[in-house]
Structure 1
Amino acid sequence: MASRQLENAEDLHFRVLKILQDNPDLSQRELAQQLGVSNGKLHYCMRALIDKGLVKLGNFASSKHHLGYAYLLTPAGMAKKASMTAAFLKRKMAEYEALQKEIAALQAEVGAEGPRSTFKNSSN
């Protein structure tokens, strides 16, 4: 179970880095909505990415409001995203291959048994 939680955290970190690379000016609220997670979970994730040095919080000098912030990937963040992309792809390909085998086994099982009806014909 711990490895599944670790995978989920890594997936979230990867997805955050991927989105922020293209949209650094998203707010945490907007990012949380895009990812389908709570604001608190995203905040915790962002703190972890900032603490690891993968993301830094920058601000727009031209902003008249204090809301003009951007989450920027650091060079270490870009390198980590690249390695996470490879690991993510490898894991998803393994899941895909396992699903293909499971589907083939189920199709073979259904084909071997033939279609069954669970309803009895009352006219007999």
Structure 2
Amino acid sequence: MTPHEQAQLRILKSLEDAPGISQRALAERLGISLGKTNYLLKALLEKGFIKADNFRRSNNKLGYLYLLTPQGIEQKLRLTRAYLARKEAEYEALRAEIAALHSELSTSEDSIATTP
């Protein structure tokens, strides 16, 4: 999964949780610049993964409500599956490394205990 796909997944998750979030708040939540957030949102709009509906806030400024399209929901699921597969592989590799370290420690401790 590329960094771009990771950012895309994080945006799709955030928009699903808070469709009325501002770009500035989204950027802060994701820890990326406002410009990059705008760029990624435009790309998601162009691909048809989200749609932006205008709505009026109480202070009369125009805002957007970002909604995931059916294609956006499918993309989020694809990205989530890829992310989960990668994390499971990392987990298994880490488990194997931990088992090897335990074995190494056990062998070292046994050799120290038998040395006169």
Bin the TM-score by the shorter chain: 0.7 to 0.9
Aligned to 1:69: 64
Asked if 1:42 is matched to 2:23, the reply is no
Q: Distance in 2 between matches of 1:78 and 1:42?
A: 19
What whole-Å deviation, never above 9, does each CA across 1:2-44 have from its counterpart, x for those lacking one? xxxx521111111110111121001111111111222222222
In structure 1, the gaps of 5 or more residues are 1-5, 115-124
* TM-score (norm. length: structure 2): 0.80
Contact kept? 2:55, 2:64, Cα under 8 Å: yes
Q: Distance in 2 between matches of 1:97 and 1:87?
A: 15
Secondary structure at 1:26 match in 2: coil
Q: Compared with structure 1, are the counterparts of its residues 106 and 41 closer, same or farther at alpha carbon in structure 2 (3 Å cutoff)?
A: farther
Q: Distance in 2 between matches of 1:29 and 1:112?
A: 55
Structure 1 residue 64, shift from structure 2 partner: 5.8
Give aligned-pair identity as a percent: 49
Q: Compared with structure 1, are the counterparts of its residues 103 and 39 closer, same or farther at alpha carbon in structure 2 (3 Å cutoff)?
A: farther
Secondary structure at 1:25 match in 2: coil
Secondary structure at 2:51 match in 1: strand
Question: 100, 105, 113: which is aligned to 2:108?
Answer: 113
Instruction: Identify which of structures 1 and 2 has the higher relative contact order when contacts are C-alpha pairs closer than 8 Å and 6+ apart.
Output: 2
In structure 2, the gaps of 5 or more residues are 110-116
Asked if 1:86 is matched to 2:81, the reply is yes
Tell me which amino acid in the other structure corresponds to 1:12: A
Contact kept? 2:49, 2:69, Cα under 8 Å: yes
Higher strand proportion (structure 1 or 2): 2
